[in-house]
Amino acid sequence: MQLIRCALVLVGVCAFVQGGNYDYADLIRKSLLFYQAQRSGRLSGMDPLVSWRKDSALNDRGNNGEDLTGGYYDAGDFVKFGFPMAYTITMLSWGVIDYENTYSSIGALNEARAAIKWGTDYFIKAHVSANELYGQVGNGGADHSWWGRPEDMTMDRPAYKIDTGRPGSDLAAETAAAMAAASIVFRNADSNYANTLLQHARELYNFADSYRGKYSDSINDAAAFYNSYSYEDELVWGAIWLWRATNDQNYLNKATQYYNQYGIQYKTSPLSWDDKSTGASALLAKLTGGDQYKSAVQSFCDGFYYNQQKTPKGLIWYSDWGSLRQSLNAVWVCLQAADAGVKSGEYRSLGKIQLDYALGDAGRSYVVGFGNNPPSHEQHRAASCPDAPAACDWNTYNGGQSNYHVLYGALVGGPDANDYYNDVRNDYVHNEVACDYNAGFQNVLASLKANGY
C-alpha cells in the first residue's frame, strides 16, 4: 500500500512525500535468517544463505556440568545474555501469536517457530531446578577483547546463575514470559512441548515473585552490559503472559494488582529488553479492552508520535544508541493499541512512516542485505570473517573491507539525531546489530503486512 504522508503536520505545514513500496514479507523472511546467523551450539536446519555459520560453543556448561549449549549470541559478540534473549523470544512469540496467519501466508511460520524454539530449548536447559536459572554464558570482558569466528573460540566461557540466595526477579519473570508466550505458539503444533514450556513458565514466575531482586545485582558481569533498572515491570509482564497462556484468573489478578501498585501506567519509556511497562499497557488494552489500559497506551502513543523529538528526515528519536530499535519498539506498542481499537488507522499509518524510514525512505536502507545502499560493515564478528582457515582477528576488524558474509535481515542501530550514519565497523552505537533490535522490527513488519500495508 502506498502512503502519502504529511511530514510537518505539527506546525501546520504539509510536505507530501511518496512513501516507499517495500516487500515486508521478504523482510520478515530475511529477519529470520538473521536469527539463524545468531545461533550458538550444534546447528541444524540452516538456510543455504547462512551456511557460513558452523557449530560453535559446544562446551558451554554450568557450574555443575549442566549442558548449556544452544541459544543465541547476543549481538556482534558471542556472549549469551539471558535477559535480552528472553525478551527477544517473548517478542517473537508475541508477533507469531497475533499474526500467525500472516506468517503462514508468506511461508515463514515454520521458520518463525524454529527461531523461537532455538531459544526455548536453551531456556529449558538453563532452568536446572525450580528456583535456579542460568542467566549468562561467557564473560563480557573476555569475549569483547577477542575478534574472530565463534567456531574458533578458545577462551573460558563461565556460566552465571540466579537462585534463592542470588535472586533475579526480572530475569526469571522475563524467561517465564518467553516460555509462556512460546507455549501458545506451539499449543496446536506440539502440545507436549507447549505443556513443558508452561510448566517451566509457572515455576519461573513463582521463583521471580517469591525471591525478589534484580538479576544484575546477582550476576555482576551482566551489570556492565544489560543492567536492569527494576524488576517490577517484569512481574506484571510475566503474569500477563501466564494469564494469556493459561486463562488462569489468578495471574490476571496478580498482573493488575502489580500494574496499579507499581504505577506501570505512568511509565513512558519505549518498550525494550529492560522496560516492559508500555508493552504491558498495550497487552492489557488488547486482551481486556479495559479503558484504563487503553488510556495509558494512547497517552504513550500520542506523546510518541506527536511530541517526541524527530530527526530532520522524520525518525522519531529517543537516544543515540540503537535509535531505530527504540522507534520501532514504540511503533509495535502503538500497533497493538491500534489492534485494540485505539486510533487504528492513524497509528498504523504513522507506524509505516517510521518503518519505511529504516527501509529506505531516508535515502538508504538500514537493513543488511536489503534495499538501497544497505550496511556492509555492521559490527558483527562472524559476518566479518572470511571462511576458515583464513585469518580473522583485529586486523579484520580494523580493515576497511566489507564484511565477508551478508548478514541478511539484520537491523543496525541507526542514525544520530541529525540523520547522520556512517557504515563503519567500529561504531557499535550506530552500526552494531542485536537479537533484541530485530524482534520489534520483525513484529512491526508482520503487523503492517497483516493489515494490508
Residue 149: name the closest of 215, 98, 76 by CA: 76
Q: What residues contact residue 174 under an 8 Å CB cut-off, 6+ apart? A: 83, 86, 87, 90, 234, 237, 238, 276
Quote the Cα angle for 67-151-91, to 5°: 65
Q: Which of 132, 233, 432, 436 is labelled catalytic?
A: 432
* CA distances in angstroms from 312 to 6, 255, 420, listed in the order given: 14, 40, 10
User: In this structure, how many other beta carbons lie within 10 angstroms of the beta carbon of residue 361?
Assistant: 23
The single residue listed with the C-alpha cell 485505539 is 342
Name the DSSP letter for residue 358: I
Q: Is 153 helix (H, G, I), strand (E, B) or coil?
A: coil
Active site annotation includes 432:
yes
Nearest-angstrom CA–CA distance, 119 and 409: 18
Backbone angles phi, psi at 69, to 5 degrees: -75, 160
Tell me how far apart the terminal alpha carbons of the chain are, to the nearest angstrom: 5
Is-contact 411 438, C-beta < 8 A?
yes
Q: Is 379 helix (H, G, I), strand (E, B) or coil?
A: strand
Nearest-angstrom CA–CA distance, 145 and 164: 32
Q: Which of 151, 152, 423, 427 is labelled catalytic?
A: 423
Task: Return the active site residues.
Answer: 423, 432
